[in-house]
């Protein structure tokens, strides 16, 4: 008897604890399961990835229609405009710039022509002779007004600390700021890289670029010149006179926008913390036809799937608000170089230190319908939440299996990470970035009709439940100690060092 009664009471306690845990987990999963249905997700994807939207390229009517669709969906769910915004659209000043139509540089009878010998990164039309002077930016006494005022400054790309061409590009911006302040007339940088040969750079610059419009009056001449032939550029490393003849087409402004929605959190202590749920809604438009003569790049996976996930999460959170506040962002111009998210983090509707997490979703394709690939899964402490949410719908979360692709740095999450905000990207399941992925990735075949909706439904639910678990957890997730962005996070949130 005694033994038996102890057994019963132990069983009773264990059962009560278990069932109360299951009770909460269950009801969160139920909130997700009951609101996200097959009809709904098919409806979104059929619209977003339809031929009528012509691949949602920035600057076309198709992407504007997508923006209107997203906005009207958010409004119908009862989602609000974000704090400090007077509507759902965050307008972004983008410009397109056609490649320069002509350019010649003459130095002591040596002629350099566009685009074989140099590329123009910034500047306006010029037909003039100017004196130039070589300068080393690592030597402070060489960068002075006495030496360089009104001159074209010649220097070497970068500052010697990195071989990354993108790094050089950012260093150029700092150099130019300095040169402007001392009244220099332009900057020619000598380019030599073993990573990116000049001929690739040339191709990159010799097509229409879309970029964020920076300073309106920015016509500061900035050139990268091929320094592969040392003899040819030797004279540029001294002083003299340079003849410049350059024709630069006018910028064309284009309208584009991020779409932003907001649901306030329910917890008086946690509602001042915001989680940004994001997906880009642009794609690459119309292009080279495939073997079926299809030229519309529908972008169902990339990133109609992400748009659908955020729409359905927004609807779910509007129905069942979470403890933390939620900001839903649909970025434009991801495909042009993460421009929409770049603008967003520089012009966020709330203070960046109040954004505790960015849970981005972006998709190249999938080759395994039993998993979710989360780029950066192991890099933040939200891993357990994401894993248990995936498990709740029969999926398994795995870390980015194709690190060589640099995917963490190729989607909008990285603009948050650079500010210190923990930011992984949720993606359809792939074990490798292989032929099965490339069959659809940035191809006309990336259509809604080729999707496995049984898998997708589980995927959308996993994303939404992950979001809910993160948004309701007692403490916000953070970078794993030792991560590349850990220190930036410590600084942003003024955290104690661990």
Minimum CB–partner distance for residue 196 and Zn ion (Å): 23
Query: Binding marks (x or -) toward Zn ion, 148..187, rule CB under 5 A?
Result: ----------------------------------------
Name which of residues 185 to 214 contact Zn ion (CB under 5 A): none
Residue 302 interacts with Zn ion (CB under 5 A)? Answer: yes
Minimum CB–partner distance for residue 322 and Zn ion (Å): 26
Nearest by Cα to 493 from 365, 324, 355: 355
Query: Binding marks (x or -) toward Zn ion, 317..356, rule CB under 5 A?
Result: ----------------------------------------
> Cβ closer to Zn ion: 60 or 303?
303
Strand ranges, E, within 230-291: 239-247, 252-263, 274-280
Select the span of 32-40, 125-133, 187-195, 299-307 touching Zn ion (CB under 5 A): 299-307
Residue 412 interacts with Zn ion (CB under 5 A)? Answer: no
Minimum CB–partner distance for residue 337 and Zn ion (Å): 12
Q: State both tokens at 172.
A: 């150029």
Nearest by Cα to 422 from 470, 350, 472: 470
Nearest by Cα to 245 from 101, 132, 98, 97: 101
> In angstroms, how far apart are the furthest CA atoms of the chain?
109
Residue 57 interacts with Zn ion (CB under 5 A)? Answer: no
Query: SS3 helix, strand, coil % of the chain, rounded to 5?
Result: 40, 25, 40
> Cβ closer to Zn ion: 362 or 446?
362
Minimum CB–partner distance for residue 303 and Zn ion (Å): 4
- Return the residue of 28, 273, 282, 362 that touches Zn ion, per CB under 5 A: 362
Distance (Å) of CA 148 to CA 6, 140, 187, 478? 90, 12, 11, 46
Select the span of 194-202, 295-303, 312-320, 366-374 touching Zn ion (CB under 5 A): 295-303
Q: State both tokens at 144.
A: 């002075």
Select the span of 98-106, 325-333, 362-370, 401-409 touching Zn ion (CB under 5 A): 362-370
Secondary structure (DSSP) of 274-297: EEEEEEE-----B-S--TT---B-
Minimum CB–partner distance for residue 362 and Zn ion (Å): 4
- Return the residue of 303, 360, 380, 462 that touches Zn ion, per CB under 5 A: 303
Secondary structure (DSSP) of 122-189: E---EEEEEEEEE--TT-GGGS-HHHHTTSEEEEESS-SS---HHHHHHHHHHHHHHHHHTT--EEEE
> Cβ closer to Zn ion: 302 or 368?
302
Nearest by Cα to 214 from 91, 343, 329, 90: 343
Select the span of 232-240, 360-368, 414-422, 429-437 touching Zn ion (CB under 5 A): 360-368
Minimum CB–partner distance for residue 148 and Zn ion (Å): 43
Minimum CB–partner distance for residue 481 and Zn ion (Å): 30
Minimum CB–partner distance for residue 55 and Zn ion (Å): 13
The DSSP output letter for 473 is S
Minimum CB–partner distance for residue 330 and Zn ion (Å): 12
Question: Whole-angstrom Cα distance, residue 203 to residue 131?
Answer: 30
Q: How many CB atoms lie within 10 A of CB 161?
A: 10
Select the span of 77-85, 270-278, 302-310, 375-383 touching Zn ion (CB under 5 A): 302-310
Name which of residues 367 to 396 contact Zn ion (CB under 5 A): none
> Cβ closer to Zn ion: 226 or 302?
302
Minimum CB–partner distance for residue 439 and Zn ion (Å): 16
Cα angle 207-344-60, degrees, rounded to a multiple of 5: 45
Number of residues near Zn ion (by CB under 5 A): 3
Q: State both tokens at 315.
A: 């609807």
> Cβ closer to Zn ion: 117 or 302?
302
Residues forming contacts to Zn ion in the complex (CB under 5 A) are 302-303, 362
């Amino acid at each position: 008897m005694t033994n038996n009664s102890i057994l019963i009471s132990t069983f009773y306690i264990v059962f009560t604890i278990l069932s109360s845990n299951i009770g909460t987990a269950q009801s969160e999963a139920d909130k997700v399961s009951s609101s996200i249905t097959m009809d709904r997700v098919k409806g979104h994807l059929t619209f977003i990835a339809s031929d009528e939207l012509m691949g949602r390229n920035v600057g076309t009517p198709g992407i504007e229609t997508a923006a209107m669709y997203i906005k009207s969906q958010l409004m119908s769910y009862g989602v609000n405009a974000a704090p400090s915004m007077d509507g759902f659209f965050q307008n972004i000043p983008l410009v397109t710039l056609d490649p320069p139509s002509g350019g010649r540089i003459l130095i002591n009878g040596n002629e350099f022509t566009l685009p074989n010998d140099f590329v123009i990164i910034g500047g306006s039309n010029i037909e003039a002779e100017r004196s130039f002077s070589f300068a080393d930016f690592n030597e402070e006494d060489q960068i002075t007004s006495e030496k360089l005022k009104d001159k074209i400054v010649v220097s070497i790309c970068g500052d010697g600390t990195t071989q990354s061409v993108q790094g050089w590009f950012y260093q150029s911006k700092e150099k130019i700021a300095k040169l402007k302040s001392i009244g220099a007339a332009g900057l020619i940088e000598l380019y030599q890289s073993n990573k990116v040969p000049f001929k690739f750079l040339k191709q990159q610059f010799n097509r229409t670029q879309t970029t964020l419009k920076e300073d309106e009056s920015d016509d500061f001449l900035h050139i990268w010149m091929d320094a592969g032939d040392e003899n040819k550029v030797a004279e540029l490393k001294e002083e003299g006179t340079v003849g410049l003849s350059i024709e630069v087409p006018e910028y064309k402004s284009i309208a584009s926008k991020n779409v932003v929605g907001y649901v306030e959190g329910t917890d008086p202590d946690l509602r001042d913390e915001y989680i940004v749920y994001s997906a880009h809604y642009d794609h690459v438009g119309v292009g080279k036809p495939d073997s079926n003569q299809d030229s519309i790049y529908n972008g169902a996976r990339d990133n109609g799937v992400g748009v659908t996930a955020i729409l359905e999460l927004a609807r779910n959170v509007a129905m069942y608000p979470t403890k933390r506040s939620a900001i839903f962002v649909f970025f434009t111009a991801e495909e042009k170089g993460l421009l929409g998210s770049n603008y967003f983090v520089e012009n966020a509707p709330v203070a960046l230190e109040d954004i505790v997490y960015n849970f981005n979703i972006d998709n190249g394709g999938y080759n395994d319908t039993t998993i979710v690939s989360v780029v950066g899964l192991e890099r933040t402490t939200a891993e357990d939440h994401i894993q248990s949410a995936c498990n709740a719908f029969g999926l398994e979360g795995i870390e980015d299996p194709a690190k060589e692709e640099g995917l963490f740095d190729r989607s909008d999450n990285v603009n948050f990470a650079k500010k210190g905000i923990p930011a992984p990207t949720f993606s359809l399941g792939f074990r490798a970035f292989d032929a099965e992925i490339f069959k659809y990735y940035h191809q006309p075949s990336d259509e809604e009709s080729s999707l496995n909706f049984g898998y997708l439904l589980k995927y959308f639910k996993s994303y939404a439940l992950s979001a809910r678990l993160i948004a309701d957890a007692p403490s916000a997730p953070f970078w794993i100690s030792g991560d590349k962005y850990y220190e930036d996070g410590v600084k942003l949130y003024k955290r104690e060092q661990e």
